[in-house]
Homo-oligomer: A and B are copies of this chain.
Amino acid sequence: MPSPTLFITHQSEFAAAHRLHNPDLSDGANERLYGPCNNPAGHGHNYDLLVTVAGPIPPQTGMVMDLNTLAALVREEITSRVDHKNLNSDVPFLAGLITTAENMCVVFWNHLSPLIEEFEGCRLHRIRLYENRNSFVDYRGLTS
């Protein structure tokens, strides 16, 4: 009998400043493209990050993965590096990136996915990033 696959999601928050700006474009093109998000001195958000892991339920634990372990992994690998930071200047793994929620989801996925796969039977299923309560981005990897 196939083992059921469950999906567990951990949500956390971080507060960061950023500015949308593509250095390959002129200032005018950036302003037309990003509008107020291109404001030179930046703006900011309370981001909500939802990380979903898929896996079977080991009968001995009843848990796909210990939620505290997942929480610690997300904090160490992601939120501790972006919380109370400026995403454009303070975060090495975002360096050179246009800090849209789309690009951040892909970077977070690429960073977390191999670490999740070290847990027996587990794989990263989805990264969801809210910029505010009315807009969010999902990424499910290349195979989705």
Contact = CB atoms under 8 A, between A and B. Distances in A.
Interface residues of A, number: 69
Interface string A111-144: 0000000000000000000011111111111101
**Among A7, A45, A68, A97: residue with most chain B CB under 10 A:** A7
A66 to B, nearest CB: 8
A22 B103 contact: no
Given A24-B60, A61-B98, A62-B20, A4 B43 contact: no
A135 B13 contact: no
A86 B64 CA distance: 23
Interface in A12-68: 12-13, 15-18, 20, 22, 24-25, 33, 35-37, 39, 41-46, 52, 57, 60-64, 66-68
Interface of A: 2, 4-13, 15-18, 20, 22, 24-25, 33, 35-37, 39, 41-46, 52, 57, 60-64, 66-68, 83-86, 88-90, 97-103, 105-106, 131-142, 144
